[in-house]
């Protein structure tokens, strides 16, 4: 069943040639060829491959196979591994420059796991390896049978398809759209993203007639040709099989033989293959079955060993099988078509197939094959309690997990448990399986990790598994269970050890999120640490880091936490340096702690340093929460555009992480809450409401500080939309939780917003009571910004001269803080109060200043209100506050790219840092240059730090253009 000439494929061929030409111009694109088996997809793929090589393009090919679906990044490795291996010295260095260095985790030695799951970093590195290849010459990636591609490779193909713009690269994929057992979701997604989707149709009667004429050597009768077309459905492979059958039977293509066509067409591919094998000796059948078990690419020696035949007999069998179009006539053994391999494989009895796969696994293990090559056969073999099989499956699972493909690791580890493993290996298998399941949010992860801990004799090692379990439980919002795991781990280890201190820090931090979890024993433990701290005892940095949340929650004033914060920063640096699992948790605690004592810039700087390193490493797992918290701090600083850029980046990393590793729901919720607040400040109320609508309702009802923060954020949006009652309900719900657990008024900001809403509704007495309560608490805790906010609410509630005096005090208090947006609000409220009291002329100065400051902050909503108040005060504010020009006109994405360019990063470096394409960077810079009215890259720093945009000040840089 060899190939049929490409008939009726001119349209598809022309489209592929056009895409190849576009790729050569730098307009990278992707095409997907879909169709049933035998319709001619491979022939189209081979033709564009040959034409690309003729133009001088580099062509890299791969093919999915049912047997190889368990190989993590198997298709990617077919495409790129050999190419990278052949490059040496400077050529290899050029291919791996920049973020492409992360590709070696997939294509080279697998690094030891360092606590950060690497799927996005791996995808990122592989993409930049492709970009480096495309910088040398046009690259064409051809992948056949994508329906059998492994999931990790499909993730990368999707990652690439969305980022081909600006690359001299063409991606051509071919596959069957509805193959049983294949994963249709990623194939559908690839199809949706592709520039072109080609669906080769069935051959018409004229083309079938041409095939008959060529193959049978005589002109067929039109009625006979029509019968052949009808019976085969015009499928080229089936046409070829039918013609081969007619030739072997000596049937002439005449009208009188139409009945014989019907009879022959009833014979499908499987029956055709069986018939052909029956015409050969038994050795040929054994060879065919051995190749079906081992998979394409098997060697004569491997087939001989598995089948028990001499190599000479195998070679003879291969020749016979090639002669009847079962095996392809090439050095690496393989079938002429996947359908033929399927027919041979399914003709082997199930029990015999399992036994043959077990034999193949033993054979490959003896030949020192890599563990995944052995494990793919063990997946199809029956378990027999073999320790070597367990070791192989466990190693394969760990390798796949380290490569960023836990979904590919899961079948290996599940199979290892079914072997079953010997007692000595049970804990290792359960730990690896439970960890993998936790990454994928498989419901049974807790049971397996608990069983692993129970199977470990050493209490410290068992506690280490409990910590892994706790981390997984917390990540999916199962806080109570996570705290229980931490508690069990803490009680099992020496109290003065590093692990105990790390667990204590984690428990204290979790206790800040969900205070109700703290048992009397933990409350007593924390009080003891706090007493030691207040007595001036020397505590190690990790213990101090664990104390920070408690001190900020329950010990006024906040200045008492400063020494603990210094220790927390040391602990963060140490944990980051060793890549410890506690690093993100400690970082969050320290950054928020600094912000809560009014040191917004310090907290932001701590996060900025971490984010810069994490972006350079492509560490998406830790970037998402860090960026979400950075966005909240930026918002409190009055850097609304920066906050929008940061929170959108956080959500992007959360989406990228879902390609392989799930992120915690609380991080997603936090990020959506921050986005909602930012969008409300930007005046995008409907989009802000949609951000909250994406969250499950239960996240607002949990007894956590995250829920309280979400409620205050939703209240801001409801208030902006005119839903005063809904906003008040949210604020009161947040207050009901925080009053008991978080007396520090800086933790959750609910009283002053509620006070303003009550005043607007006419209940000045209740409004004043809330403002007075917040002011008293602010003085007790020594926090300036909440005090300033409370004075604003108090001044609005009082009204008249007394209210104006209170608002003047608020303006003065907030002017010396880092809360620029709160200062702008106070100025606007002061101006509005003066205007209402009849002092219209006096009102204009604070209103103009408030308008200017709100505009610089990027707070469109506050700026609009200031403009309305100025009009009411008889002034004529500028009408260009929508900013079609200048730094304030930049979108969040443009601003982030511009700032990095002004720091001296090239377009390539910016793209690597932000996980975007160079074309996207160029697009943002073109828009930025137009809006800033500059033509040189070196002018960016001055333009961003101009009087109109001094809030965006950054270092100097150099020229524009498509720098790489």
Given a cut of 90, whether residue 760 has pLDDT beyond it is yes
**In the structure, what pLDDT confidence band is assigned to residue 597 with cuts at 50, 70 and 90?**
confident
Topology classification of domain 624-739: 1.25.40
**In the structure, what pLDDT confidence band is assigned to residue 954 with cuts at 50, 70 and 90?**
very low
**In the structure, what pLDDT confidence band is assigned to residue 582 with cuts at 50, 70 and 90?**
low
Please tell me the predicted confidence (pLDDT) of residue 538.
83
Given a cut of 80, whether residue 264 has pLDDT beyond it is no
pLDDT tens digits along 674-727: 888 899 888 888 888 888 887 888 888 888 888 888 999 999 999 988 899 999
Please tell me the predicted confidence (pLDDT) of residue 790.
97
Q: Which range, of 66-80, 119-133, 460-474, 611-625, averages the lowest pLDDT?
A: 611-625
Please tell me the predicted confidence (pLDDT) of residue 91.
92
**In the structure, what pLDDT confidence band is assigned to residue 963 with cuts at 50, 70 and 90?**
very low
* Higher-scoring residue by pLDDT: 396, 673: 396
Domain 268-348: give its CATH architecture.
Orthogonal Bundle (1.10)
CA–CA distances in Å: residue 893 to residues 408, 437, 611, 639, 707: 35, 35, 16, 14, 28
Please tell me the predicted confidence (pLDDT) of residue 793.
97
Instruction: Report how far residue 509's alpha carbon sits from residue 664's, in angstroms, rounded to the nearest whole number.
Output: 16
pLDDT tens digits along 563-572: 788 878 887 7
DSSP 3-state of 348: coil
pLDDT tens digits along 837-847: 999 999 999 99
Instruction: Report how far residue 12's alpha carbon sits from residue 524's, in angstroms, rounded to the nearest whole number.
Output: 74
Q: What angle do CA 494, 500, 501 make, to 5 degrees?
A: 135
Percent of residues in the chain assigned helix, strand, coil, to nearest 5: 70, 5, 25
Given a cut of 90, whether residue 670 has pLDDT beyond it is no
pLDDT tens digits along 903-919: 888 888 888 888 788 88
Question: 280 near 321, Cβ under 8 Å?
Answer: yes
In degrees rounded to 5, what are phi and psi of residue 60? Answer: -120, 130
Instruction: Report how far residue 845's alpha carbon sits from residue 832's, in angstroms, rounded to the nearest whole number.
Output: 11
Average pLDDT over residues 521-527: 89
CATH number belonging to domain 887-952: 1.10.10.10
Given a cut of 50, whether residue 113 has pLDDT beyond it is no
pLDDT tens digits along 526-542: 889 888 888 888 888 88
Peptide bond into 420 cis (omega under 30): yes
Question: 931 near 922, Cβ under 8 Å?
Answer: no
In degrees rounded to 5, what are phi and psi of residue 211? Answer: -65, -45
Give the start-end residues of each E strand in 52-200.
Answer: 58-63, 139-144, 169-175, 196-198
Please tell me the predicted confidence (pLDDT) of residue 661.
35
pLDDT tens digits along 340-360: 888 899 999 999 999 999 999
Q: Which of 789, 755, 787 is nearest to 770 (CA)?
A: 755
Question: 279 near 271, Cβ under 8 Å?
Answer: no
Please tell me the predicted confidence (pLDDT) of residue 268.
63
CA–CA distances in Å: residue 768 to residues 306, 659, 726, 776: 87, 50, 20, 12
Percent of the chain residues past pLDDT 70, beyond the cut = 91
CA–CA distances in Å: residue 525 to residues 112, 119, 274, 495, 544: 36, 39, 75, 11, 13
Average pLDDT over residues 859-870: 91
Given a cut of 50, whether residue 664 has pLDDT beyond it is no
Q: What b-and-e string marks burial along 710-727, b requiring 16 or more CB atoms within 10 Å of the CB?
A: bbbbbbbbbbbeebeeeb
Please tell me the predicted confidence (pLDDT) of residue 6.
65
Please tell me the predicted confidence (pLDDT) of residue 239.
84
Please tell me the predicted confidence (pLDDT) of residue 952.
35
Most confident of 88-97, 142-151, 824-833, 929-938: 824-833
Please tell me the predicted confidence (pLDDT) of residue 919.
84
pLDDT tens digits along 411-425: 999 999 999 999 999
Please tell me the predicted confidence (pLDDT) of residue 383.
92
Average pLDDT over residues 463-468: 91
Please tell me the predicted confidence (pLDDT) of residue 201.
82
Please tell me the predicted confidence (pLDDT) of residue 502.
84
Question: 328 near 322, Cβ under 8 Å?
Answer: yes
Average pLDDT over residues 139-161: 92
Please tell me the predicted confidence (pLDDT) of residue 797.
97
Given a cut of 80, whether residue 15 has pLDDT beyond it is yes
Average pLDDT over residues 39-63: 93
Please tell me the predicted confidence (pLDDT) of residue 339.
80
Instruction: Report how far residue 560's alpha carbon sits from residue 509's, in angstroms, rounded to the nearest whole number.
Output: 18
pLDDT tens digits along 369-389: 999 999 999 999 999 999 999
pLDDT tens digits along 98-107: 889 888 888 8
Average pLDDT over residues 436-465: 91
Please tell me the predicted confidence (pLDDT) of residue 5.
53
**In the structure, what pLDDT confidence band is assigned to residue 179 with cuts at 50, 70 and 90?**
low
Q: What is the mean pLDDT of the chain?
A: 86
Please tell me the predicted confidence (pLDDT) of residue 595.
84
Most confident of 106-115, 269-278, 897-906: 897-906
Given a cut of 60, whether residue 180 has pLDDT beyond it is no
Q: Which of 913, 921, 923, 901 is nearest to 98 (CA)?
A: 913
Superfamily designation of domain 10-198: P-loop containing nucleotide triphosphate hydrolases (3.40.50.300)
Q: Which of 30, 20, 145 is nearest to 78 (CA)?
A: 145
* Higher-scoring residue by pLDDT: 589, 490: 490
DSSP 3-state of 33: strand
Please tell me the predicted confidence (pLDDT) of residue 962.
41
In degrees rounded to 5, what are phi and psi of residue 755? Answer: -60, -45
Given a cut of 60, whether residue 273 has pLDDT beyond it is yes
* Residues paired with 143 in a beta bridge: 62, 173
Instruction: Report how far residue 679's alpha carbon sits from residue 641's, in angstroms, rounded to the nearest whole number.
Output: 10
Q: Which residues contact 936 (CB under 8 A, 6 or more apart)?
A: 959, 960
Given a cut of 60, whether residue 856 has pLDDT beyond it is yes
Rounded to 10 deg, the angle between the 820-836 and 860-872 helix axes is: 20
Given a cut of 50, whether residue 755 has pLDDT beyond it is yes
Average pLDDT over residues 774-793: 94
DSSP 3-state of 30: strand
pLDDT tens digits along 734-743: 999 888 777 8
């Amino acid at each position: 069943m060899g190939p049929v000439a490409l008939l009726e494929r001119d349209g598809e061929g022309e489209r592929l040639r056009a895409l190849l030409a576009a790729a050569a111009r730098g307009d990278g694109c992707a095409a997907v060829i879909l169709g049933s088996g035998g319709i001619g997809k491979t022939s189209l793929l081979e033709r564009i491959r040959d034409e690309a090589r003729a133009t001088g393009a580099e062509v890299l090919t791969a093919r999915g196979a049912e047997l190889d679906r368990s190989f993590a990044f198997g298709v990617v490795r077919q495409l790129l591994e050999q190419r990278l291996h052949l490059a040496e010295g400077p050529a290899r260095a050029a291919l791996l420059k920049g973020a492409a260095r992360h590709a070696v985790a997939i294509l080279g030695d697998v690094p030891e796991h360092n606590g950060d799951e690497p799927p996005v970093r791996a995808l990122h590195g592989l993409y930049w390896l492709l970009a480096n290849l495309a910088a040398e010459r046009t690259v064409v990636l051809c992948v056949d049978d994508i329906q059998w591609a492994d999931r990790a490779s499909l993730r990368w193909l999707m990652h690439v398809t969305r980022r081909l713009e600006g690359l001299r690269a063409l991606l051509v994929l071919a596959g069957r759209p509805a193959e049983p057992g294949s994963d249709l979701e990623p194939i559908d997604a690839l199809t949706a993203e592709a520039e072109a989707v080609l669906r080769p149709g069935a051959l018409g009667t004229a083309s079938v007639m041409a095939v008959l004429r060529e193959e049978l050597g005589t002109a067929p009768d039109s009625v006979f040709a029509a019968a052949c077309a009808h019976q085969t459905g015009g499928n080229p492979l089936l046409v070829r099989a039918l013609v081969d059958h007619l030739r072997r039977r000596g049937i002439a293509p005449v009208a009188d033989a139409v009945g014989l066509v019907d009879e022959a067409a009833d014979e499908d591919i499987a029956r055709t293959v069986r018939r052909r094998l029956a015409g050969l000796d038994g050795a040929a059948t054994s060879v065919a079955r051995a190749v079906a078990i081992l998979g394409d690419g098997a060697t004569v020696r491997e087939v001989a060993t598995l089948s028990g035949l001499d190599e000479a007999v195998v070679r003879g069998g291969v020749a016979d099988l090639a002669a009847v179009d079962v095996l392809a006539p090439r050095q690496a053994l393989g079938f002429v078509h996947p359908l033929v391999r399927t027919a041979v494989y399914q003709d082997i009895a199930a029990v015999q197939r399992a036994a043959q796969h077990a034999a193949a696994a033993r054979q490959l293990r003896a030949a020192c094959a890599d563990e995944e090559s052995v494990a793919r056969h063990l997946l199809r073999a029956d378990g027999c309690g073999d320790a070597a099989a367990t070791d192989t499956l466990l190693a394969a699972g760990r390798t796949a997990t380290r490569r960023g493909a836990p979904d590919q690791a899961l079948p290996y580890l599940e199979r290892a448990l079914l072997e079953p493993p010997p007692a000595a290996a049970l804990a290792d298998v359960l730990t690896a399986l439970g960890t993998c399941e936790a990454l994928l949010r498989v419901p049974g992860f807790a049971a397996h990790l608990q069983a692993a801990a129970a199977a470990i004799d050493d209490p410290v090692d068992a506690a280490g598994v409990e910590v892994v379990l706790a981390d997984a439980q917390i990540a999916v919002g199962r806080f109570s269970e996570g705290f229980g795991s931490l508690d069990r781990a803490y009680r099992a280890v020496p109290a003065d050890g590093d692990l105990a201190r790390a667990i204590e820090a984690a428990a204290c931090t979790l206790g800040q999120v969900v205070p109700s979890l703290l048992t009397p024993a933990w409350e007593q433990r924390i009080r003891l640490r706090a007493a030691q701290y207040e007595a001036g005892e020397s505590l190690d940095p990790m213990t101090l880091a664990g104390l920070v949340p408690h001190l900020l929650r329950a010990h006024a004033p906040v200045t008492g936490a400063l020494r603990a914060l210094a220790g927390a920063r040391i602990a963060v640096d140490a944990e980051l340096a060793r890549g410890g699992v506690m690093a993100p948790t400690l970082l969050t605690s320290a950054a928020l702690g600094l912000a809560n004592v009014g040191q917004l810039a310090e907290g932001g700087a701590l996060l900025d340093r971490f984010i810069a390193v994490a972006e350079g490493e492509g560490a998406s797992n830790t970037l998402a929460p860090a960026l979400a918290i950075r966005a909240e701090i930026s918002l409190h600083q009055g850097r609304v555009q920066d906050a929008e850029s940061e929170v959108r980046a956080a959500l992007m990393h959360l989406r990228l992480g879902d390609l392989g590793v799930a992120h915690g729901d609380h991080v997603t919720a936090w990020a959506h809450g921050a986005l909602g607040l930012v969008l409300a400040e930007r005046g995008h109320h409907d989009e802000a409401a949609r951000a909250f609508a994406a969250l499950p309702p239960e996240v607002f009802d949990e007894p956590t500080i995250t829920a309280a923060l979400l409620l205050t954020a939703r209240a801001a949006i409801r208030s902006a939309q005119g839903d005063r009652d809904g906003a008040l309900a949210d604020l009161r719900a947040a207050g009901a939780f925080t009053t008991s657990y978080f007396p520090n008024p800086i933790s959750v900001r609910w009283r002053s917003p509620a006070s303003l809403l009550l005043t607007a509704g006419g209940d000045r007495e209740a409004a004043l009571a809330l403002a007075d309560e917040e002011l008293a608490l602010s003085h007790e805790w020594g926090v300036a910004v909440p005090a300033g906010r409370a004075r604003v609410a108090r001044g609005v509630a009082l009204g008249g001269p007394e209210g104006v005096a209170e608002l003047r005090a608020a303006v003065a208090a907030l002017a010396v803080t880092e809360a620029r947006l709160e200062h702008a609000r106070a100025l606007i409220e002061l101006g509005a109060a003066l205007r209402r009291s009849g002092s219209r002329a006096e009102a204009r100065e604070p209103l103009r200043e408030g308008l200017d400051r709100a505009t610089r902050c990027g707070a469109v909503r506050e700026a609009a209100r200031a403009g309305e108040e100025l009009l009411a005060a008889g002034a004529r504010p500028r009408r260009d506050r929508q900013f079609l020009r200048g730094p304030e006109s930049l979108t969040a994405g443009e601003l982030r790219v511009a700032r990095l360019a002004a720091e001296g990063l090239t377009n390539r470096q910016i793209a690597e840092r932000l996980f975007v394409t160079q074309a996207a960077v160029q697009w943002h810079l073109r828009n930025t240059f137009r809006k800033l009215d500059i033509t040189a890259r070196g002018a960016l720093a001055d333009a961003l730090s101009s009087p109109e945009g001094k809030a965006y000040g950054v270092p100097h840089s150099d020229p524009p253009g498509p720098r790489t």
